[in-house]
């Protein structure tokens, strides 16, 4: 299939992402993939809206809808997505830009039950789709490294379409007339310390019985709210440096992701995944902060936890990578964020001929760092012990473009706004050498800054 020309129009770099997003967010299904790189000059940001098509999975049914028609199928959602992406010709200039039009959206953790055929035990009390994807033909892309800002559009966008969108972006018209965001009550957990300890003991029983080596177990926090989720995202963004952040909004829900973790990147058939396993809090003083770094770096328990997931992810991506191409160029690196230090490893490989990003995503989903090992048994145990389904939490948010590129996060540090309630989850890996009090505290520490930012803004009485 021949490459098509891509419209690329430069935009003044000084226009902020917030300004651009607020000028287009009245359009259908606005999305913002946010590298949070305003101050470190790396990464790309992608803003888009008004998709020409949506692909939505609810239960076992996937619906493909455009302006004038809608079809439903029981086919695997990843296969449906793959076929829709293949129906568009690639565009030129793919070496310059990470995204040239394509799919942007989210894949919920619960989409994994269609792959692994899990038992149904946990309650589904958040009515979000298992997969919700838009096909976007235009986008605004910020290149932080080169300090460039572009409007890009595929040939399917008419000259009039492009002119109207550029006019929106460049016109100084205040559209941000939305209500501020306020909690109506403080966040509450769905798991008491006592209940957590019971589940922890059960997990250890499974580990010692040989069912599993590691289980990623989480607790959920939620609260009622009023106002605009976008304002909540802006508050969170001001207090984090998470490089795989995102904001997605439809008429039914909003996702606010402040994720530090990449799931899978595909660029020019090169594959990369960067699982996180191992966490310590930031110290108040520099000496204390360095002590936490050293404790994490030298922790045999955290290294063992990380290595289990490295082996799992090597196996997952190897299904679609050339034999012998999968390597681990970086093992047990320290990455530091606003409230925690993480232990991160990097795994790379080369896609097999005839395989693509959708194949890779399907066969690796959900990410091993948020299930445990072995993956299927870990997911069964999570289903048994966590009272509610995870929804978007521990799924993935990102893009797959028409040129075969992909970048997705692990949707941790992610909040869901639905039916005037906001949900947030915190979790961690439990292994034979874990301590119940430390694990319970860690699951809170990881999201404490997210909860505190919103609670410190005041609770409506």
Active-site annotation, residues: 261, 277
In DSSP terms, 215 is beta-bridged to: 372, 430
CA dihedral 233, 450, 382, 375 (to 10 degrees): 70
**Residue 118 CB contacts under 8 Å (≥ 6 apart), including other chains:** 112, 379, 380, 383
The sign of the CA dihedral 153, 155, 161, 164 is positive
Which helix (H) or strand (E) is 165 found in, with range? helix 159-170
- 3-state helix vs strand vs coil in the chain, percent to 5: 30, 35, 35
Q: Alpha helices of 299-435 — where are they, by DSSP H?
A: 300-318, 357-364, 375-385
C-alpha to C-alpha distance for 398 and 246, rounded to whole angstroms: 8
From its phi and psi, is residue 64 left (phi > 0), alpha (psi between -120 and 50) or beta?
A: beta
Of the candidates 188, 199, 189, 122, the residue with the CA atom closest to the CA atom of residue 439: 199
Q: Alpha helices of 266-410 — where are they, by DSSP H?
A: 286-297, 300-318, 357-364, 375-385
How many residues are there in the chain?
Answer: 461
C-alpha to C-alpha distance for 266 and 123, rounded to whole angstroms: 34
Q: Alpha helices of 374-435 — where are they, by DSSP H?
A: 375-385
As given in the structure block, the two tokens for residue 441 are 């505290």
Cβ neighbours of 186 (radius 10 Å): 11
């Amino acid at each position: 299939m021949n490459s098509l020309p891509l419209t690329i129009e430069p935009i003044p770099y000084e226009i902020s992402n917030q300004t651009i997003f607020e000028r287009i967010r009245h359009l259908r299904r606005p999305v913002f993939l946010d590298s949070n790189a305003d101050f470190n000059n790396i990464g790309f940001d992608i803003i888009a809206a008004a998709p020409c098509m949506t692909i939505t999975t609810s239960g076992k049914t996937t619906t493909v809808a455009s302006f004038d028609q809608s079809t439903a199928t029981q086919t695997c959602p990843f296969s449906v997505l793959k076929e829709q992406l293949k129906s568009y010709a690639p565009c030129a200039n793919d070496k310059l830009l990470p995204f040239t039009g394509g799919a942007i959206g989210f894949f919920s953790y619960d989409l994994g039950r269609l792959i692994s055929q899990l038992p149904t035990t946990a309650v589904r009390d958040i009515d979000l789709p298992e997969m919700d994807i838009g096909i976007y033909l235009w986008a605004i892309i910020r290149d932080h490294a080169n300090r460039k800002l572009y409007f890009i559009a595929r040939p399917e966008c008419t000259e009039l379409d492009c002119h109207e969108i550029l006019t929106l972006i460049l016109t100084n018209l205040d559209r941000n007339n939305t209500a501020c965001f306020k909690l109506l009550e403080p966040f509450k957990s769905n798991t008491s310390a006592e209940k957590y300890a019971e589940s922890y003991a059960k997990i250890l029983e499974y580990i010692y019985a040989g069912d599993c080596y590691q289980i990623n177990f989480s607790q959920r926090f939620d609260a009622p709210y009023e106002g605009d989720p976008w304002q909540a995202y802006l508050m969170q963004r001001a207090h984090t440096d998470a490089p795989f952040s995102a904001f997605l909004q439809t008429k039914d829900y909003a996702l606010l992701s402040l994720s530090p973790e990449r799931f899978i990147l595909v660029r020019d058939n090169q594959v990369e995944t960067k699982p996180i396993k191992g966490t310590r809090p930031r110290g108040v003083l520099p000496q204390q902060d360095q002590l936490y770094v050293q404790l994490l770096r030298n922790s045999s328990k955290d290294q063992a936890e990380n290595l289990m997931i490295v082996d799992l992810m090597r196996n997952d991506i190897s299904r679609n990578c050339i034999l012998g191409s999968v390597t681990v160029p970086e093992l047990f690196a320290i990455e530091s964020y606003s409230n925690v230090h993480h232990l991160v490893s990097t795994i790379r490989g080369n896609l097999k001929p005839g395989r693509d990003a959708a194949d890779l995503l399907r066969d690796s989903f959900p990410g091993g760092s948020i299930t445990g090992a072995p993956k299927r048994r870990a997911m069964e145990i999570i289903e048994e012990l966590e009272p509610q389904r995870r929804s978007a939490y521990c799924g993935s948010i990102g893009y797959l473009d028409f040129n075969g590129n992909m970048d997705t996060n692990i949707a941790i540090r992610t909040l869901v706004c639905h039916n005037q309630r906001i949900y947030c989850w915190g979790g961690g890996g439990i292994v034979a050498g874990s301590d119940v009090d430390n694990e319970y505290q860690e699951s809170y520490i990881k999201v404490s800054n997210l909860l505190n930012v919103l609670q410190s803004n005041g609770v409506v009485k």
